[in-house]
Structure 1
Amino acid sequence: MKQSDIQLSTFFTFFLALLIFCACQPNELSRQDLTSGLKKHTIFLASDELEGRETGSRGAEEAARYIAQQFEASHLTPGGTNGYLQAFDVTPSMNPHEKPEMNADGDSLTIKALNVVGMIDNPGDQVIVIGAHYDHLGYGGFGSLHRGDTLIHNGADDNASGVAVLLMLAEKLKSKKLNQDIMFIAFSGEEKGLWGSNYFVKNPTIELKNIKAMINMDMVGRLNEERSLVVHGTGTSPVWEQLLGAHNTDNLSLIMKPSGMGPSDHTSFYLQDIPVLHFFTGQHEDYHKPTDDVDKLNYEGMTDIAEYITRITISLDSASKMEFTKTKDESQDTPRFKVTLGVIPDYLYDGKGMRIDGVSEGKPASKAGLQKGDVVVKLGGENVEDMMSYMKALSRFNEGDTTTVVVKRGEEQLNYSIEF
């Protein structure tokens, strides 16, 4: 064989080996692919065909099977009790003061639900859990803030957005060379009372002691112009604040909340002494209403959040076992209300006062003339410095009371009479 033929044969052998090697490597997602995937998943999960994904419904089961199919497409190892699925039954109590009973099969009230669990099985023993709930309110009912005809509550932001980020993180992180396992869980029953996450931590498919941290995404679809991102749970480990700051290369405006307790699935893990983070882009006037639809989501913002959580997850891979710290349960300090002003607070606002993000028709604020964007600085003679002081001031009123509210609207300070 001629020397030139030998060289050519060697080149083709090398080229063929390179093609085989590249074919075996997971492809790195481009930003465009990430955004496109987020949009695709959200549109499916928030479609009318799934009828609001209420726990135990046909639509919820269809959503669970879609998520399982996506886990399989991303080559995740099944982490449920039946492939990717972890089935559980819940029998709600007729007494609202009693907890529902898990796995009380046979009762006519029993609801059958599914968690969906997949894992990137890396060499290490420790596990990073990434979670999001996929259920919503179906046609409304308890929990809905809609008044009028019965309509499908598609829950695009709450929480098709979080599940879409979960699915794309699974695809994105699969291509990374990591040591620690990553478990992805799509929970059911969150809207009913954290049913799915509560069931999982009490019936885990891995050793709870091996879980290093839990990252939760619930309502991450509406990053605003100020790029405000609330991160709950920053006090559950001493490393969180430094780590969150170090990887914020997209100039997100972080609002850090120390407490590990809250109305989403991270709470179930926090109660097992596991460090948690919960990402949230804020409440809005479409919350728990049929108008929470896909056309109102910020997909570029969701992409930024997915990239941010990717960087945080990768940094956790090299960190040693994290120290857990208990935090104050802020919900215990929340006053009880006998009346409502009829506004949606802007939970992302970190200035002085309480900024209004939405006004409900027919409620005291609407009747008085308050508007979205107004900042409440005084209520009934009490200064309003923040959300907590606003709630304490509101808790002092009874139905039929009248008072005065002072708001800032731009540079103006305005007084309004309120009747509860």
Structure 2
Amino acid sequence: MRAFIIVFSVILFFSCKEEKIQSVTMQDDVSFLASDSLNGRQTGTEGELAAAAYIEKRLKAIGLQPKGVAASYTQTFSFKPSSNPHEQAEYTNETLEGMITGTNVIGYLDNNAEHTVVIGAHYDHLGTGGEGSLYREEGDAIHNGADDNASGVAIMLQLAERLRQLPAPKNNYLFIAFSGEEMGLLGSNYFVKNPTVDAKKINYMINLDMVGRLNEEKTLAAYGVGTSPIFKQTLFANNTFDLNIAENDSGIGPSDHTSFYLADIPVLFFFTGQHSDYHKPTDDTEKLNFDGMETITSYIESIVKDLDGAGKLAFRKTKNESEEVPAFKVALGVVPDYLFTGEGMRIDGISEDKPAQKAGLQKGDVVIKLGDKETKDMMSYMKALATFEEGQTIEVTVNRSGEIITFEVTF
């Protein structure tokens, strides 16, 4: 009954706004998707189905064609979650105890073109917690996931509205709201294996995940830059928005673009960085930077328009940096700033009662040396950290607002 009430509210919302679809803002989209009434949008739940119904109504109102299964806007997939966190869930057509059904929502802008561009964002989240939650207090709490990833869905819908107005487009555009991302990229993986368009005609894929918190430095991470030779020059040629682009070549990462990259499709993944509310109940609508989201939307729109006349993009394999990450025997107890583009490893957070906090390191410190090993970037930091043993004491050198300070840290 609760799901029916939620879906009915969605339908009523759109019946009132159908003639004024352009007035539906990104804040409207996030506010609905990240509301308590959806109970955290966990895959297969009533809340996720209500979110799917909302997204479907939005795609329909924008004027996109259904491109799911059997002339619908949806593509469902069933799976039984793995009890082993190191093993991926397996899809199944059987009726099994504990089986979950996820729902991808898919809209199509058919321009009668030879190739299709996929623009996607996952819409599922953690429900009231579970294994992926970083919430450490007693009891369950709704994880609304405003940044993760109502923000990505909102930008995707905004791009659908804008690309609908393209004059003489040379690509088709497929918009997909993925389910099951938090459980292991399940929705995107299923789509790639069961595409509703000709997979050989997919030109490239853009993935939007956690794009709601553009910081004061206006740093936007762009991953997958190396997956097509044209990407880098296109990204920087269209940066008329004073963005600080933190580029990364790799097509592999913890989000849905990975599924497409592994199918030899060029990918771009946009991300505004982790924060203290990540995978916690405090990831709420009021904490998003909607002006920043508008900037990001305009930037991506500019990139897509530029690439529209580029023909079929060449695909290029990239180095999988995740395979190079060394094994650690110790931990400093910090959260790295993945958006930092300067020299060193900037600290974005400090864990309680860990070596870094005990030694006096602070958020914002830039680690430039561990022991006698220079740390010019994230990878050199990780390689240096992997050489130390538990109980060992070293000197950690940081740049703190221009002052070089050395701390004694014991692991």
* TM-score normalised over the length of structure 1: 0.88
> How many angstroms apart in 2 are the aligned matches of 1:58 and 1:395?
44
Describe the shift of the 1:146–1:61 C-alpha distance in structure 2 as closer, same or farther (beyond 3 A): same
Q: CA deviation at 1:301?
A: 0.8
CA contact (8 A) 1:130 1:216 kept: yes
Matched, 1:49 2:37: yes
Paired residue secondary structure (2:308): helix
Question: What is residue 112 of structure 1 aligned with on the other side?
Answer: 101
| Structure 1 counterpart of 2:79, from 63, 69, 90 | 90
Could you tell me which residue of structure 2 aligns to residue 147 of structure 1? 136
How far residue 401 of structure 1 moved from its aligned partner, in angstroms, is: 4.1
Q: Which ranges of structure 2 fall in alignment gaps of 5 or more residues?
A: 1-18
Name the structure 2 match of 1:174: 164
Query: What are the ranges of 5 or more consecutive residues in structure 1 without an aligned counterpart?
Result: 1-25
Q: Are residues 156 and 210 of structure 1, via their aligned partners in 2, closer, same or farther at CA, if it must alter by over 3 Å?
A: same
- 2:4 match: none
| AA partner of residue 131 (structure 1) | G
How many positions carry a matched residue from both structures? 390
Match of 1:317 in 2: 308
Equivalent residue number for residue 57 of structure 2 = 69
Residue 396 of structure 1 and its aligned partner are, at CA, apart by 3.1
- Paired with 2:182 and 2:21, the residues of 1 have a C-alpha distance of 34
Q: How does 1:18-417 map to 2 (within 5 A)?
A: 37-82=25-70, 83-149=72-138, 150-177=140-167, 178-417=169-408
Task: Render the CA deviation track for 1:179-224: whole Å, top value 9, x for unaligned.
Answer: 3210000001111111010000000011100101101111111111
Contact 1:27 1:175 in 2 (8 A): no
Distance 1:50 1:339 in 2: 40
Residues 410 and 98 (structure 1), Cα distance of their counterparts in 2 relative to 1, 3 Å cut: closer
Give the conservation status (yes or no) of the 8 Å contact 2:179–2:187: yes
Distance in 1 separating the partners of 2:288 and 2:346: 21
C-alpha distance in 1 between matches for 2:392 and 2:128: 35
Is the 1:77–1:120 Cα contact (8 Å) retained in structure 2? Answer: yes
Stretch deviating more after TM superposition (132-141 or 265-274): 132-141
Instruction: Indicate how the Cα distance of structure 1 residues 153 and 404 shifts in structure 2: closer, same or farther if over 3 A, else same.
Output: farther
Per the TM alignment, residue 354 of structure 1 is displaced from its structure 2 partner at its CA by: 0.6
- TM-score, reference length from structure 2: 0.90
CA contact (8 A) 2:21 2:62 kept: no
SS in 2 for 1:373: coil
Structure 2 SS opposite 1:165: helix
SS of the residue corresponding to residue 32 of structure 2 reads: helix
Distance 1:28 1:50, change over 3 A: closer
Question: Distance between the aligned counterparts of 1:39 and 1:332, measured in 2?
Answer: 38
Q: Contact 2:227–2:266 at 8 Å: present in 1 too?
A: yes
Instruction: Kindly report which structure 2 residues correspond to 1:7-26, keeping only aligned pairs within 5 A, or say none.
Output: none
- Contact 1:104–1:110 under 8 Å retained in 2: no
Aligned counterparts of 1:28 and 1:74: Cα–Cα separation in 2: 7
- C-alpha contact 1:28 1:175 (8 A) present in aligned 2: no
> Aligned in 2, Cα 1:187/1:164: closer, same or farther, shift over 3 Å?
same
Shift of 1:97: 4.1
- Is the alpha carbon distance of 1:77 and 1:325 closer, same or farther for their aligned partners in structure 2, counting shifts above 3 Å? same
Whether the aligned pair in 2 keeps the contact of 1:285 and 1:344 (CA below 8 Å) is no
**1:227: Cα distance to partner?**
1.1
% identical aligned pairs: 56
**SS state at 1:220 partner:** coil
C-alpha root-mean-square deviation of aligned residues, in Å? 1.9
Q: How far apart are 1:75 and its partner, in Å?
A: 1.3
Contact 1:220 1:280 survives alignment (8 Å): yes
Q: Secondary structure at the match of 1:191?
A: coil
Deviation at residue 297 of structure 1 after TM alignment: 1.1
Once residues 27 and 67 of structure 1 are traced to their aligned partners in structure 2, the CA distance between those partners, rounded to angstroms, is 16
1:165 CA drift (Å): 0.3
Amino acid at match of 1:370: L
* CA deviation vs aligned residue, 1:106-157 (integer Å, no higher than 9, x gap): 2212111000100111121210100011111122221222211232221111
Deviates more, 1:153-162 or 1:88-97: 88-97
Deviation at 1:28, TM superposition (A): 11
Alignment-mate amino acid for residue 116 of structure 2: V
- SS of 2:131's equivalent in the other structure is coil
1:59 to 1:37, Cα distance in 2 relative to 1, 3 A: same
